[in-house]
Amino acid sequence: MELTSLRLKEALEGLENKKFSSVELIKSHIGRIKKFNKKINAFITICEEEALSQAREADTLIAKKAKNALLGIPVALKDNWVTKGIRSTAASKVLDNYIPQYDATAVVRLKAAGAIIIGKTNLDAWGHGSSGEHSDYGNTLNPWDYSRVTGGSSSGSGAAVSADMTLVGTGTDTGGSIRQPAAFCNVVGLKPTYGRVSRYGIIAMASSTDSIAHLTKTVWDNARVLSVTAGFDPMDGTAGKNEVPNYEDLLQGKISGLKIGIPKEYFGKGTDEIVADTCHKALKVLEDLGCKLVDISLPHTKYAYPVYAVIQASEVSSNLLRYDGVRYGNERKMFGDEAKRRIMMGTHSLSSGYADKYYHQSLKGRTLIIRDFMEAYKKIDVIACPVWPFLPFKFDERAIDPLKMYLSDVFTAPANVSGNPSLSVPAGFSPDKLPIGIQFMGPNYSEDLLYKVAYRYEQETKWYLKKPKLYE
């Protein structure tokens, strides 16, 4: 049995039934990382010794019949998640040698559940990007086609999960940065309700749209991890206080009778025909399962990206002020071109004489977008639409035109602007065998409903069984 091919649920069952040890599971994944990471570049840091030490401890606990939710499981953390004693770079040379003195709250919870940190994954520096082409440590290659992008900014985690280098990859989603690599890599990626998972200890990009979650091979796996990381945190003033269920226990049951909203704005001009056709086929599966498809309109969606772009750049400008090279990190001259671009745009949007014209106007636009979603959810239960308007593209194809690259977020940013949860799941492949994803969006704290719909769809289609063919 190839241990790296297991899904999280299978690995947990195998560990519990003594079919293999946590040490064996970790060694298998470390071996695969060593074999393919030089090519794919999913990891910035590999924690081999630490992981094996934790695995031995996990095996001792398993022998004592401990029941921790993720006991003995390898997890790869996006490198903007702060980790005590482990280098945390945010993929920027500004923080090249930064070793934190504490763990992010989400890391504390993963460790408490028995998860083992196997390494820190690559990303667009500071989370600034939709393709994975803006890391100071080199591009992450798409396991399905090495000539194409993985999607960003959580590029390393998406590639690592897809390439069976880890069972769980964590991420941050500010404008689509978890869902986008999930869609391009044929894995499951969650953008939870804003505040569902604590942001404490996560290197901030845009504080009012940052959402913290993860990528996995299946919906059940994703639900299990959210049950661990979600919940109130007194260290985060924006953390929600809603009770956290065992999400994986809520997956079963019929979804017949649910109303699935299909926003016309997401299937019009600019959406690749192959992407649209694949999503329509996915919707037909849901219809056959008893869901009712309802055409809806989100009239202010056309303003969602410009609203997001101004808010995001403004908050980026503010958040990056702290990196002055005095208290920690290197000099500001080491910022990459993308960080500099966003700092300039954000500073301009916040400057005297322009804040009312840009930033404050964007906040008003955000209110209109939130109202659109609230009105829609009075009529329907879930919204379904593409994650990307196009297929995975080749490196440098869009890099020469920053505006065209920014518009990659057009289908994902609305959920960040509204704060609502969104879940990307595999929906099929193009004729060239490139992955395509579909996303399900719902009202705040409806992650259980999104998981339920996605799980039923996943069980019907089983796209997760398809794997990329890697080479060194």
Instruction: Catalogue the active-site residues.
Output: 78, 153, 177
The full length of the chain comes to: 472
DSSP assignment letter at 147: E
Name the residue among 230, 233, 185, 188 with its Cα closest to residue 212: 230
Strand partners, 453: none
135: left (phi over 0), alpha (psi -120 to 50) or beta: beta
DSSP assignment letter at 326: S
| Cα distance between residue 466 and residue 462, in whole Å | 8
Cβ–Cβ contacts within 10 Å for residue 354, how many? 13
Residue 34 makes CB contacts below 8 A (sequence gap 6+) with: 46
In this structure, the dihedral spanned by the alpha carbons of residues 109, 114, 118 and 123, taken in order and rounded to 10 degrees, is -20
Beta strands in 197-320 (DSSP E): 211-216, 259-263, 292-296
The distance of Cα 364 from the centroid of its chain, to the nearest Å, equals 27
- 3-state DSSP of 165-194: CCCEEEEEECCCCCHHHHHHHCCEEEECCC
| Cα distance between residue 362 and residue 371, in whole Å | 14
Tokens of 363: 């906040």
Farthest CA pair distance, the chain: 66
| Cα distance between residue 294 and residue 281, in whole Å | 15
| Angle, helices 8-16/22-40, rounded to nearest 10 degrees | 150
Is 168:431 a contact under the CB 8 Å cutoff?
A: no
- What H or E segment, with its residue span, contains residue 315? helix 304-319
Tokens of 259: 């109303």
Residue 279 makes CB contacts below 8 A (sequence gap 6+) with: 267, 384, 385, 386, 427, 436, 438
| Cα distance between residue 444 and residue 271, in whole Å | 27
Residue 411 makes CB contacts below 8 A (sequence gap 6+) with: 176, 266, 385, 386, 387, 388, 389, 439
